[in-house]
């Protein structure tokens, strides 16, 4: 670790590896060093890699907080508040070690922009991770770029809803109708009772944000795509904070500001395209 890394309050290197052996050679010593130093350690990686790390650690795995990222980070938008910051907050005032792997082979092209935005906001691999590790070498990244610039590069337009999407207008007098509309379509799509309730809450939060922050009116569309229920709200607002929905709101904070955080917790994928005078938020819910 360089002097610059040692002095930094937050160090976010990227590990590049070829195959399981290099993966374990790059991760297990990092974990063991943290345990030896008495530091809390969390590993949040996809299932196969989690099993490899657990087996390599043996009994020491019981001292590590283990998350299957395919579950905990299914929606990239909830990794920062629900996984990373939650662990850090549980050990406030202490250095912690975290291994996170939000992108894996099974991620779809639809999910990748949201994953890249997540990584950019904690520093994106090679382009925004300032330090690169392999199993044997550590060096500064020659391709490091400002994380905000990388995140903005994935603020991509979303395709139009399909012609069969059910639509309605969002306005203050229709918020109850919006929730009924979402409930009926969720049930018709075969969502379980719990997932239908999640859809209603998510749609209600997005609609309320439109009414409060985006000129009071917008457009809601709901449809089924690849076995998921997809909901989109379009309005004239502009989400200017790239961390919106990714930071937990303190319990004693003024009312408001929790809508997108809640939406990220409930949904399997959240995509946002925002520009002055136009914002589209699209959420996906699996059955």
Q: What is the pLDDT of residues 202-249, one digit of tens each?
A: 999 999 999 988 888 999 999 999 999 999 999 999 998 888 888 777
What confidence tens digit (pLDDT) does each residue in 236-278 have? 999 988 888 887 777 776 666 688 999 999 999 999 999 999 9
Token digits of residue 220: 């809601």
Q: Which domains does the chain have, with CATH numbers?
A: 3-153 (no CATH), 166-285 (3.30.565.10)
Average pLDDT over residues 61-71: 96
Backbone angles phi, psi at 170, to 5 degrees: -105, 125
Q: Which residues contact 241 (CB under 8 A, 6 or more apart)?
A: none
Q: Are 181 and 168 in contact (CB under 8 A)?
A: yes
pLDDT (0 to 100) of residue 287 = 86
What pLDDT, on a 0 to 100 scale, did the predictor assign at position 177?
96
CB atoms < 10 A from the CB of 184, how many? 14
CA dist., res. 79 & res. 81, Å (int): 6
Give per-residue pLDDT as tens, 176-206.
Answer: 999 999 999 999 999 999 999 999 999 999 9
Reduced 3-state DSSP string for the chain? CCHHHHHCCCCCEEECCCHHHHHHHHHHHHHHHHHHCCCCEEEEECHHHHHHHHHHHHHHHHHCEEEEHHHHCCCHHHHHHHHHHHHHHHCCCCCCEEEECCCCCCCCCCCHHHHHHHHHHCCCCCCCCCEEECCCCEEECCCCCCHHHHHHHCCCCCCCCCCCCEEEEEEHHHHHHHHHHHHHHHHHCCCCHHHHHHHHHHHHHHHHHHHHHCCCEEEEEEEEECCEEEEEEEECCCCCCCCCCCCCCCCCCCCCCCHHHHHHHHCCEEEEEEECCEEEEEEEECC
Whole-number pLDDT of residue 131: 53
Is residue 97 predicted with pLDDT exceeding 80?
A: yes
The rounded percent of the chain whose pLDDT value lies above 90 is 61
pLDDT at res. 160: 95
Sign of the Cα torsion 194, 105, 66, 3 reads negative
pLDDT band at 8; cut points 50, 70, 90: very low
Residue 5 has pLDDT above 50, yes or no: no
Quick check: 171 pLDDT over 70?
yes
* Contact assessment for residue 60 and residue 28, using Cβ atoms and an 8 Å cutoff: no
Comparing CA positions, the residue from 116, 155, 136 lying closest to residue 25 is 136
Backbone angles phi, psi at 131, to 5 degrees: -125, 135
Per-residue pLDDT averaged across 44-49, rounded? 95
Q: Please report, rounded to a whole number, the percentage of residues in the chain having pLDDT higher than 70.
A: 84
pLDDT for the residue numbered 255: 60
Question: What are 108's two structure tokens?
Answer: 């779809």
pLDDT attached to residue 1: 31
Q: Supply the pLDDT for residue 251.
A: 72
Note the pLDDT of residue 213.
Answer: 84
With tokens 């390599």, the residue in question is 56
Place 142 in a pLDDT band, splitting at 50, 70 and 90.
Answer: low
CB atoms within 10 A of CB 240: 8
Mean pLDDT score of the chain: 86
């Amino acid at each position: 670790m360089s002097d610059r890394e040692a002095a930094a309050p937050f160090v976010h290197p990227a590990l590049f590896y070829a195959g399981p052996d290099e993966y374990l050679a790059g991760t297990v010593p990092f974990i063991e060093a943290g345990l030896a130093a008495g530091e809390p350690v969390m590993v949040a990686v996809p299932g196969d890699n989690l099993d490899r790390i657990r087996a390599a650690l043996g009994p020491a795995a019981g001292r590590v907080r283990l998350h299957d990222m395919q579950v905990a980070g299914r929606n990239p938008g909830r990794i920062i508040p629900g996984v990373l910051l939650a662990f850090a907050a549980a050990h406030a005032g202490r250095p912690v070690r975290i291994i996170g792997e939000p992108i894996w082979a099974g991620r779809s092209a639809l999910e990748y922009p949201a994953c890249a935005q997540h990584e950019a906001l904690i520093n994106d691999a090679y382009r925004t991770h300032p330090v690169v590790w392999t199993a044997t070498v550590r060096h500064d990244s020659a391709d490091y770029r400002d994380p905000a610039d990388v995140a903005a590069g994935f603020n991509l337009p979303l395709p139009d809803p399909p012609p069969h999407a059910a639509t309605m207008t969002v306005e203050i007098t229709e918020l109850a109708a919006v929730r009924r509309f979402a409930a009926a379509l969720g049930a018709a799509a075969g969502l379980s009772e719990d997932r239908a309730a999640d859809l209603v809450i998510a749609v209600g939060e997005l609609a309320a944000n439109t009414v409060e922050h985006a000129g009071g009116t917008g457009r809601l569309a709901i449809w089924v795509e690849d076995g998921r229920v997809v909901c989109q709200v379009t309005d004239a607002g502009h989400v200017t904070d790239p961390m919106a929905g990714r930071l937990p709101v303190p319990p004693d904070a003024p009312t408001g500001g929790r809508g997108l955080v809640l939406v990220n917790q409930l949904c399997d994928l959240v995509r946002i395209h925002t520009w002055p005078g136009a914002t589209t938020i699209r959420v996906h819910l699996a059955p």
